[in-house]
Amino acid sequence: MASDLPLLVSPQQLLPHLGDDGLLIVDLGKPVVYQQAHVPGALHLDFKRLQRNTLPAPGLLPEDDDLAALLSDIGLTPDTHVVAYDDEGGGWAGRLLWLLDAVGHTRYSYLDGGIHAWLADGLPTEDTPVTARPSDYRLGEKNPRTDVPFEEMLARYNADNVVIWDARSREEFDGVRAFAQKAGHMPGAIHYEWTEPMDKTRNLRLRDLDTLRTELAARGITPDKEIITHCQTHHRSSFSWLVGKILGFDNIRGYAGSWSEWGNHPDTPVEKDLK
């Protein structure tokens, strides 16, 4: 049964579940890649629909009407188990799963390594587009433990029991590159780039989980704290959020406004690590 799938599912684990009732596989990769090869039965979803895409914070959750339309269009029901993957190592797949978590849908998995790992294992693919069977998805109460609104972020970024996980590039964190009016990072934030958990020698599968826990702990990202991830638009940091969930960090959230909101707001403190 699809409901038996773990949060992190390997290609070999997913293979025997293809065609299961209640299983919805979502491909968030580039359209050209999907058209060439995708997991059998996988529906393609335009990742642009996962964000609000309005300035100054394009990474915010879509408006409720747009959210309901998106989830209805892909055929989501309360009993659906979603498996998400992409062609970039997990950013957009993570964003979809974070969005599902935010609306209270917790039946989901991430395909480890995405299409790269699936192809590397020599598993069957399709090149014919899959058509969704739409549902009439009704939004309920959102999960307040998934998203962090700006006002809460500003009030709690430096709290003793909070650790800010900045998933951007080192250059963005240090203030060398900026995609907002302000350059740098939140005071006290910890840098661990979103790509660091990916094993580039194993088709972008996650590296050893115990090694990741050790690396994060060495930088001060530990499960005894409330962990908040962010990047520029909470695309990259959605994968960081997902990695934390896979590692068993139950108290982990995402700041959807991310640096596009923080770095363009007049009242936010910023640090730089310029050498």
- For residue 231, indicate whether it is catalytic: yes
Q: Which H or E run includes 68?
A: helix 64-73
Annotated catalytic residue, options 60, 180, 231, 243? 231
Q: Output DSSP code: residue 63.
A: P
Least Cα distance to 46 among 64, 30, 57, 32 occurs for 30
Amino acid present at 238:
S
CB atoms within 10 A of CB 254: 31
Active-site annotation, residues: 231
